[in-house]
Amino acid sequence: MLTIHNTLSGKKEEFKPLSDNNVNMYVCGITPYDEVHLGHARCYVVFDIIRRYLKYKGYTVKYVQNFTDIDDKIINRSNEMQIQSSELAQKYIDDYFVQMRKLNIVDADSYPRVTQKIPEIIEFIKKIIDNGYGYVVDGDVYFQVRKFKDYGKLSKRNIEDLKVGARVLPGEKKKDPLDFALWKKAKDGEPSWDSPWGKGRPGWHIECSAMSLKEFGLNTFDIHGGGQDLIFPHHENEIAQSEAALGKQFVKYWIHNGFVTINKEKMSKSLGNFFTLREIFEKYEPMVVRYMLLSQHYRQPLDFTQEKLQQSKNTYFGILNILEKTKNILPDGTADHINDTTIKNYIQNFENSMDDDFNTAESLAMIHGIVNMLNGFYNDFLENKKGAKDWIVLYRNKLLKLCDILGLSFEQELKIPENILKLSEEREQARKNKNWKLSDEIRQKMKELGFEVEDTKSGTRIIKL
- For the chain, which domains are there? 3-266 (3.40.50.620), 283-415 (1.20.120.640)
The per-residue pLDDT for 129 is 98
Asked if 200 contacts 46 with a C-beta cutoff of 8 angstroms, the reply is no
- Above pLDDT 90, what percent of the chain? 77
What's the mean pLDDT in 304-333?
Answer: 90
What's the mean pLDDT in 117-139?
Answer: 98
Q: What is the pLDDT of residues 230-272, one digit of tens each?
A: 999 999 999 999 999 999 999 999 999 999 988 888 777 667 7
Is pLDDT above 80 for 163? no
- Residue 433 has what DSSP assignment? T
Of 82-96, 328-342, 364-378, which gets the smallest average pLDDT? 328-342
Helical packing angle, 360-382 and 341-355, nearest 10°:
160
The per-residue pLDDT for 424 is 87
The per-residue pLDDT for 326 is 92
Cα–Cα dist 85/191, whole Å: 8
State which H helix or E strand residue 347 sits in.
helix 341-355
Higher per-residue pLDDT: 331 or 123: 123
What global pTM score does this model have? 0.88
Q: Is 276 exposed, middle or buried (0-12, 13-18, 19+ CB in 10 A)?
A: middle
The per-residue pLDDT for 428 is 85
Q: Which of 60, 58, 47, 76 is nearest to 2 (CA)?
A: 58
Is pLDDT above 60 for 413? no
Q: Which of 251, 257, 245 is nearest to 206 (CA)?
A: 245
Of 126-140, 208-222, 423-437, which gets the smallest average pLDDT? 423-437
Quickly list DSSP for 255-310: EEEPPEEETTEE--TTTT---BHHHHHTTS-HHHHHHHHHTS-TTS-EEE-HHHHH
Is pLDDT above 60 for 412? no
Of 93-97, 226-230, 420-424, which gets the smallest average pLDDT? 420-424
Q: What is the pLDDT of residues 13-65, one digit of tens each?
A: 999 999 999 999 999 999 999 999 999 999 999 999 999 999 999 999 999 99
Asked if 26 contacts 1 with a C-beta cutoff of 8 angstroms, the reply is no
**Per-chain mean pLDDT for the chain:** 92
What's the mean pLDDT in 200-207?
Answer: 96
